[in-house]
Amino acid sequence: AGNPDQTLVNALLHYDKNLSKLPRAGLIHRLDKNTSGLLLIAREPISYHALVKMMQERDISREYETIVTGAMVSGGTIEAPIGRHPKSRTQMAVTPGGKPSITHYRIIKRFQAHTHVRVQLETGRTHQIRVHLSHINYPIVGDPVYGKQHMIKGLPLKRQALHAVKLSFTHPVTQETLSLEAPLPEDMQALIAKLSS
């Protein structure tokens, strides 16, 4: 219930009151509701503004893992504009008037009727991975919006199978190359184990 972004901002402010000096409490890389994985939060103004610029210029590499419905034959790139859905204003869609959007994907493991996929974002549109994969007829398992016609009962997952697994970027102050990773959560591991069996 409520605005998930605002709930996250409130939680960050509770954690560190100094974040109130920054827009959106320093939040740089956010996630869709019910997507797990890495967030990126700046704690100082100099870092915040530098990281926002890096995000806009596509200098932060963002990688995800997901499980989709359908056995993919190969990896590829989806280049299709994303904008507001013409009929449902709470959803996004591939639409001619949308913003340019690019998603790269490769197969990690193929199952009988599903595929474990690694995804890299070149752009960062709202719901981009979910919209793009649904657009090419490989919707994400458990996605209640873009994959609801493919929902499967009895799977050990109560959300979309999407996880922000890796963020790579240059630290705006130290200039150190950072590569941060978050292992797959238990529910996605359980789903992969079930599909493997």
Report, as residue numbers or ranges, the catalytic residues.
32
Hey, CA dihedral for 11, 9, 7, 134, is it positive or negative? negative
Asked if residue 66 lies in contact with residue 164, where contact means CB atoms within 8 angstroms, the answer is no
Asked if residue 117 lies in contact with residue 72, where contact means CB atoms within 8 angstroms, the answer is yes
Q: Report the length, in residues, of the chain.
A: 197
